[in-house]
Structure 1
Amino acid sequence: MAWSWKWRSPSILVEGAERFERVEIPVYRSTGGPLFKTLLSSACRMDCRYCPLSTTCRVRREAWKLERLVRVFLEAYRRGLVRGLFLSSGFYGDPERVVEDLLSVVWELRRRGYSGYIHVRLMPGTPPSLIREALRLADRVGLNLEAPSPTQFAEIAPSKGSWSLDLLSKLLYAARVAGSPQRVDTQLVVGASGESDLDILRLAEGLAASGVGIMHFSPYTPVPGTPLAEKIRRPTPMWRIRQLYEAWMLLSRYGFKLGDFEPLLDEQGNIPPDTARLKDRLAWAHPEWYPVDPTTAKFRELLRVPGIGPRTARRIVEFREKGELTLERLRNILGPRWKRAQRYLDTSKLSGAKRLV
């Protein structure tokens, strides 16, 4: 799922133990619909150099009581303000304690009959038994890697544990037992650790091959009072985030490989900004891939064509296997994307090619 980075905070009256109280609802607008997105607690014992909740920052610490969080969420869901719950937390104790507290909320919601969407963020070092329990109770679990390598991670989150043992290995374990790539996700803070796009793409390719279905790219934003804000004063530009999301999609769903991106990288290993879509830029960089013959091309070769995605490629293959793929059929399948795709296709072998202009 991609995030829109837009918040709205309606308030509702909720019946408490003795009286009604007005509660501001933390609603997060995602492309899949509004989510109730909150931390169980803002208390944290970590000193991540980019985070406003770090122990180095003076900030008011708050925490939900389980009963109140469950009651407020269910009321917001009943009123149609949210479609599901995104639950995370500051790292206020050992990983077992924090994740058990998170799962207590999820368990209580399920016990009360809520069967909708729940996304739970795990903590570094979460034991396998709690990872399995989280996958049993929640629709999706995530564990933030924050940076693409152990060295870069240690620079921005020195006390958060081992990147390889406490984060990556736990994320890959969740991917192995989840049963679906779309049930496991991770996040990087882009621009915080001096990483290049090549560093990120190398990690992304490995995660996609290991069953991690979703990567989120959070743009680094300097927060006054955090140690990193004195070193990196400019936020990560959104064009870089957009390009990384495009690259992730091509690596995870379209069959592109890390080496395919090399012609686009500059000397620092970054993809220069450009208004053109990344798939089109890859096509221009690899003229040897084209033209693609839709009557014989492999599925992966069809996916290289700008304007053709996995669903469209499957439809082309299905009609081809039934002997029903004609030029007119291909144009109907592509619809408005035909103009973009046709320059990369060899349609001379399709029925109707000579008489259809």
Structure 2
Amino acid sequence: MEIGQEITGLQEKLRILADAAKYDVACTSSGVGRSGKRGYTGNSVAAGICHSFASDGRCISLLKILLTNHCIYDCKYCINRRSNDVVRTAFTPDEVCRLTMEFYRRNYIEGLFLSSGVIKSPNYTMEQIYEVLYKLREVYRFRGYIHIKAIPGADESILDAVGLLADRMSINLELPTAESLHALAPHKSRETILTPMRRIQGKISESRISMGQSPSLERAWGVKNFSHGIFSEKEERISDTGAAAASESSLTVESSLTVPGQSRYPARQREIRTYAPAGQSTQLIVGATPESDYHMMMVTQALYRQYDLKRVFFSAYVGLNEDSALPAPGEKPPLLREHRLYQADWLLRYYGFRAEELLSEDRPNFNVYLDPKCDWAVRHLECFPVEIMRADYETLLRVPGIGAKSARRILQARRIGKLDFFDLKKLGVVLKRAHYFIILNGKQMFPTALEENRITAGLIGDSRKKNWELEHTECYRQLNLFDDMKLSVEAEAEDFGKAAMGQL
């Protein structure tokens, strides 16, 4: 096959565009529940339908594809950039619908994740995405989960129409600072990304208000007033957009929407539809630019608080393009750094930590040997030991080895009677980490002095194996949807003999 050749076969298109989508890691789903309905196909489970554990973000529960790998932009970090000489192809909307329905009926997938390069213009690309969604929802009557990557620069009317059909929308910020974005993606700007992100936030807030819900997500914040990095002073002063528009809360659509290009987009008829009920997310590339973990986490915290995102995803940069502004091709992706950022992101969203508690300008990067929560704990031994029978929920959450579920279970169980360490283990507490930082009824599990060096040595021993596995992913192979499990090693004469004798 010649490089640059335009592909027409559906199976070959699927191979190319599914592979091209693997670098987009934002493919988890949650926050939406839609039961089956007579005359329709599929449903969506509120607890989430897929989990991705691969370093490159592949997931077999969603049909994860690009609409096209054609692109008018020349982002230096992207394999599909305009200047790269790669095989180009594109699905038609009907082809995406056909693949989604056929895969769903065979129980291969439970939903669709659709992203795209920018072909012709942002508006034209979003029109094609809209056509896919409209046909899936109205022609094929598909009620499964759909996650759409919105294209920065598209008109608001198109985004509004897509948001009424998709379950989750996301716009990739890609890089944490305007300077890095300008250096690696000169055709993009902070304004073209954050403006539609603000629009989506406002529409989601309006939709939540119309359903009698809180306009913003509930999180375990420590402090509320915060801003950093990529946000201007004007953006920092903006409060909840949805609350100011509560009077426009009805999302019942009974007419067509007119969008640029003289295209008319019929909307769902006489049905109140929530706008992107699973929220919006974004993605940051890790390791392509010199920003520290501290800067990444401060920007992440600001995105959650200023734009009410459901998730911020991190993608370890994979060196594919040769460019002086990028790490050299062949360098290992910073997978352990990505892992630490995800751990810290969890602390921000569910454990009440602040980014400035975990890192600082004097200490800008995470400890490669300890997870962020353990690292914080050994640097704040004045907060420990914690008495399990008296500590409140927020204090329990700060103990390494105690998660949100186990903390709630402890609060419930200790109302009934005294607990022992065996009870804590049954409640889900990871005692090999927690025992350094807790006392139960005035006693430690093992007599241990609160000394930073001693505790650190013990914790590092527990996590060393996991860190090694993260840094040596070449020992593992990610399966894909079409894997036939054939080994690359050819059989030897001895193997044929064993097979003939029934020994294999």
Q: TM-score range by the shorter chain?
A: 0.7 to 0.9
Q: Distance in 1 between matches of 2:76 and 2:335?
A: 21
- Deviation readout 1:236-282 (Å, 9 max, x if unpaired): 3211111111111111221111122127x765x222421x3332222
The answer to whether the 8 A contact 1:52-1:223 is kept is: yes
Q: 1:174 aligns with which of 188, 200, 207?
A: 200
Distance 1:230 1:309, change over 3 A: closer
Q: Specify the alignment match of 1:334 in structure 2.
A: 427
Find the counterpart in structure 2 of residue 291 from structure 1.
385
CA distance in 2, matches of 1:21, 1:171: 33
1:237-276 paired onto structure 2 within 5 Å = 237-262=334-359, 269-274=364-369, 276=370
The one-letter amino acid paired with 2:194 is L
Map of 1:130-149 to 2, 5 A cutoff? Answer: 130-149=158-177
Q: Secondary structure at the match of 1:187?
A: strand
Partner of 2:137: 110
CA distance in 1, matches of 2:410, 2:156: 42
Aligned residue type for 2:200: A
The 8 Å contact of residues 217 and 244 in structure 1, kept in 2 or not, is answered as yes
Per the alignment, residue 48 of structure 1 pairs with: 75
**Which letter maps to 1:288?**
E
Whether 1:314 aligns to 2:341 is no
The alpha-carbon deviation at position 86 of structure 1 amounts to 0.6
Taking a change above 3 Å as real, the CA distance of residues 55 and 339 of structure 1, as seen in their structure-2 partners, is: closer
1:17 alignment counterpart = none
1:146 maps to a residue whose letter is E
- Who is 2:453 aligned against? none
Map of 1:324 onto structure 2: 416
Q: Secondary structure at the match of 1:343?
A: coil
Bigger helix fraction: 1
Find the aligned partners of 1:288 and 1:224 in 2 and give their Cα distance: 48
Q: 1:223 aligns with which of 301, 304, 320?
A: 320
Identity of aligned residues (%): 31
Q: Aligned partners of 1:51, 1:217: CA distance in 2, in Å?
A: 15
Q: Give the letter aligned to residue 167 of structure 1.
A: I
- SS of aligned partner of 1:216: strand
* Structure 1 runs not aligned, ≥5 long: 1-19
Residue type at the aligned position of 1:340: R
Q: Which has the higher strand share?
A: 1
- Whether 1:158 and 2:182 are equivalent positions in the alignment is no
Residue 187 (structure 1) aligned with residue 283 (structure 2): yes
Q: Moved runs in structure 1, 4+ residues, more than 4 A?
A: 20-25, 27-30, 179-182, 225-233
* Partner of residue 153, structure 2: 125
Q: Give the residue type in structure 2 aligned to 1:312.
A: S
- Per the alignment, do residues 226 and 286 of structure 1 end up closer, same or farther by CA in structure 2, a change over 3 Å counting? same
Structure 1 stretch displaced more, 202-211 or 41-50: 202-211
For residues 195-214 of structure 1, the aligned pairs below 5 Å read: 195-210=291-306, 211-214=308-311
1:142-182 deviation per Cα after TM superposition (whole angstroms, max 9, x unaligned): 1100111111111111112x21x211243244234334755
Structure 1 287/78 Cα, relative in aligned 2: closer, same or farther at 3 Å? same
Q: Deviations over 1:216-251 (max 9, x none)?
A: 211112224556457676343211111111111111
**Corresponding residue pairs, total:** 326
In the alignment, the residues of structure 2 paired with residue 125 and residue 219 of structure 1 have an alpha-carbon distance, to the nearest angstrom, of 26
Does the 8 A contact of 2:374 with 2:400 survive in 1? yes
Q: Distance in 2 between matches of 1:221 and 1:22?
A: 26
Kept in 2: contact 1:48–1:157 (CA 8 A): yes
Corresponding residue number in structure 2 for 1:90:
117
Question: Equivalents in 1 of 2:295, 2:327: separation in Å?
Answer: 24
Q: Distance in 2 between matches of 1:229 and 1:81?
A: 37
| Amino acid paired to 1:83 | E
Give the Å deviation of 1:337: 1.9
Name the CA distance, whole Å, in 2 between partners of 1:152 and 1:270: 19
- Unaligned runs of 5+ residues in structure 2 are 1-8, 28-49, 53-59, 209-215, 218-277, 445-504
Pairing 1:12-51 to 2, within 5 Å after superposition: 24=14, 26=18, 31=51, 34-51=61-78
Deviations 1:318-347 (A, max 9, x none): 455xx3253149526534624432432243
CA contact 2:149–2:171 (8 Å) conserved in 1: yes
Larger Rg: 2
Q: CA RMSD, aligned part only? A: 3.0
> In the aligned structure 1, how far is the partner of 2:354 from the partner of 2:86?
44
Cα distance, 1:252–1:308 mapped onto 2, change above 3 Å: same
Cα distance in 1 for residues equivalent to 2:194 and 2:282:
10
Measured after TM superposition, the shift of residue 298 of structure 1 is 3.5
SS in 1 for 2:314: strand
Report the 3-state secondary structure (helix = DSSP H, G, I; strand = E; otherwise coil) of the residue aligned with 2:283: strand
Shift of 1:185: 1.1
How far apart in 2 are the matches of 1:131 and 1:298? 44
Which one is further off, 103-112 or 172-181?
172-181
**Alignment of 1:58 onto 2:150:** no
1:303 pairs, out of 377, 397, 405, with 397
Partners of 1:69 and 1:63 in 2: CA distance: 10
Corresponding residue of 1:16: none
CA 1:231–1:105 in 2, change beyond 3 Å: closer, same or farther?
same
Summarize the Cα distance change of 1:137–1:325 in structure 2 as closer, same or farther, 3 Å threshold: farther
Moved more, 90-99 or 278-287: 90-99
Matches of 1:244 and 1:317, distance apart in 2 = 29
